[in-house]
């Protein structure tokens, strides 16, 4: 491990300057091209190298890198390959504006409405959830309450953490039928599920099973207003981030975990956790950090760090694919240039069109709420007499890429996103009509 980190050792500026050839800085900056014109959806779609032979309705699964993100990855990769030591040493451990890790935190924080120092960079949603649940100081006899609708990664993160702590987990249904759920019925079901041992509540913002978007802001307010011990709210937000016009840091949850390699179009293998300083301080870190100076200094003295846990201390250390981690900033810049409200409105427009088209088909059962306030970018449905996998297969035969939801009860999914056109949505709806007979 390289021990002369300027950020860690807080070396005087003169030393930093002496270590870092200015030509490297200039070369690194030259590798970051200006943002493309993203003023029309056609221009946005042109940023993706997607195979035009297919209609891509499963882009939420894993991102195709759009041109600005690919350019940033390529630029950082060229810089690392030219000079691995200087580029990583500077990009990770230098003081000030040239620190690319800090730059990525700042870009992400700006989009989340958060402070940069409260953004923890992870590799994906799953790692973020695991870090949070394993980090919580759960006691024997305490309970984590989650729902029957959460993803495998969420349930298993909780199970592994409670097993270790001698705590327990419980899953409650928030609805029988997502399509007819309301904000009140969801809150009611959740509040009824809370028991005397519940200390933590785990929820999913946009469900990849039914496509419902939980009203997290209203749920968080209801949890705060109830009598009894305060509960911590952990949210898997992966399918809401980049599809919804929300300020994550004021949503009301205590821990927000998301991959950024789906709706945000950040490099594959990137993600984040956001929490407030107080909530970071509750957690016990799991993996040695490479971005927390206090932890490093305490190690030098052979002591545990005396300061509270922070986002940086929770960020898993070890060297990473830095060209991907740093280029996450370009994806957040791209989203800011497109406009969060404009992106959300476009995704809603295409999903409304998709839902209206499918709902007009008597052979289709829609599982996603029609309301744009209770849904986002995913439309889940069944076709009478056909297994979800058969629906997907028959759509594939028409060059339409749909997906099935990876849950015990599975549905077919179409996810209209920024890479799609209204004409493509119409063709997908027509194709479902054809296969439903």
Ligand X SMILES: Cc1ncc(COP(=O)(O)O)c(C=O)c1O
Q: Where does this chain bind ligand X (CB under 6 A)?
A: 124-126, 151, 153, 204, 208, 236, 238-239, 259, 271
CB-CB neighbours of 161 under 10 Å: 22
Distance in Å, CB of 186 to ligand X, minimum: 16
CB-CB neighbours of 370 under 10 Å: 14
Dihedral sign (CA 308, 310, 314, 317): negative
Phi first, then psi, for residue 203 (nearest 5°) are -130, 160
Sequential DSSP letters for 410-421 = --EEE---TT--
Dihedral sign (CA 105, 109, 114, 120): negative
Distance from C-alpha of 17 to C-alpha of 293, rounded to nearest angstrom: 20
Distance in Å, CB of 125 to ligand X, minimum: 3
Nearer to ligand X, 26 or 62 (CB): 62
Pairing of strands 403-404, 271-275: unpaired
Nearer to ligand X, 235 or 432 (CB): 235
Nearer to ligand X, 153 or 351 (CB): 153
Nearer to ligand X, 238 or 350 (CB): 238
Nearer to ligand X, 124 or 289 (CB): 124
Distance in Å, CB of 170 to ligand X, minimum: 19
Distance in Å, CB of 153 to ligand X, minimum: 4
Helix intervals (H) in 226-339 = 277-282, 293-300, 311-314, 322-338
Distance in Å, CB of 151 to ligand X, minimum: 4
Nearest position to ligand X, beta carbon: 259
Nearest to 91 by CA among 394, 338, 323: 323
Strands (E), 57-167: 119-122, 143-147
- Is the Cβ–Cβ distance between 435 and 391 less than 8 Å? yes
Nearest to 147 by CA among 235, 225, 248, 211: 235
Nearer to ligand X, 93 or 381 (CB): 381
Nearer to ligand X, 71 or 145 (CB): 145
Nearer to ligand X, 124 or 351 (CB): 124
- Is the Cβ–Cβ distance between 226 and 188 less than 8 Å? no
Distance in Å, CB of 270 to ligand X, minimum: 9
Distance in Å, CB of 207 to ligand X, minimum: 7
Pairing of strands 232-236, 198-204: parallel
Token output for 383: 């076709």
Q: Residue 386 gets which letter from DSSP?
A: B
Distance in Å, CB of 54 to ligand X, minimum: 20
Distance from C-alpha of 117 to C-alpha of 309, rounded to nearest angstrom: 11
Distance in Å, CB of 55 to ligand X, minimum: 20
Nearer to ligand X, 357 or 388 (CB): 388
């Amino acid at each position: 491990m390289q021990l002369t980190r300027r950020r860690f050792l807080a070396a005087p500026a003169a030393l930093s300057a002496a270590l870092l050839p200015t030509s490297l800085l200039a070369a690194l900056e030259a590798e970051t091209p200006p943002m493309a014109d993203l003023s029309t959806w056609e221009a946005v779609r042109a940023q993706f190298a997607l195979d035009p032979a297919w209609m891509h309705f499963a882009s939420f699964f894993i991102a195709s890198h759009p041109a600005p993100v690919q350019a940033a990855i390529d630029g950082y990769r060229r810089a690392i390959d030219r000079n691995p030591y200087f580029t990583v040493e500077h990009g990770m451990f230098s003081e000030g504006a040239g620190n690319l890790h800090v730059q990525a935190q700042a870009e992400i924080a700006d989009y989340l409405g958060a402070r940069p120092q409260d953004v923890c960079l992870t590799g994906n949603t799953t790692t973020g959830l695991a870090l949070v649940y394993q980090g919580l100081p759960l006691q024997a006899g305490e309970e984590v309450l989650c729902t029957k609708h959460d993803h495998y990664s969420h349930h298993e993160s909780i199970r592994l953490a409670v097993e270790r702590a001698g705590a327990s987990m419980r899953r409650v249904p928030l609805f029988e039928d997502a399509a007819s759920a309301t904000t009140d019925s969801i809150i009611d079901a959740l509040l009824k599920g809370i028991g005397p041992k519940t200390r933590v509540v785990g929820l999913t913002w946009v469900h990849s099973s039914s496509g419902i978007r939980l009203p997290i802001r209203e749920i968080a307010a209801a949890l705060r207003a109830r009598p009894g011990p305060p509960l911590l709210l952990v949210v898997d937000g992966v399918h809401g981030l980049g599809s919804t016009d929300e300020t994550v840091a004021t949503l009301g949850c205590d821990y927000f975990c998301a991959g950024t390699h789906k709706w945000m179009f950040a490099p594959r293998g990137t993600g984040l956790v956001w929490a407030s300083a107080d909530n970071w301080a509750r957690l016990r870190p799991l993996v040695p950090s490479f971005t927390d100076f206090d932890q490093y200094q305490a190690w030098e003295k052979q002591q545990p760090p005396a300061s509270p846990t922070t986002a940086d201390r929770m960020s898993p250390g070890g060297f990473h694919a830095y060209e991907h981690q740093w280029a996450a900033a370009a994806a957040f810049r791209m989203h800011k240039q497109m406009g969060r409200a404009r992106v959300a409105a476009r995704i809603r427009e295409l999903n409304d069109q998709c839902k209206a088209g499918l709902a007009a088909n008597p052979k289709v059962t829609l599982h996603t709420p029609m309301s744009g306030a209770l849904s986002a970018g995913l439309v889940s449905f069944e076709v009478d007499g056909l297994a979800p996998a058969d629906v997907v297969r028959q759509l594939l035969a028409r060059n339409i890429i749909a997906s099935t939801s990876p849950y015990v009860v599975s549905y077919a999914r179409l996810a209209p996103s920024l890479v799609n056109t209204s004409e493509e949505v119409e063709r997908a709806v027509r194709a479902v009509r054809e296969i439903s007979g």
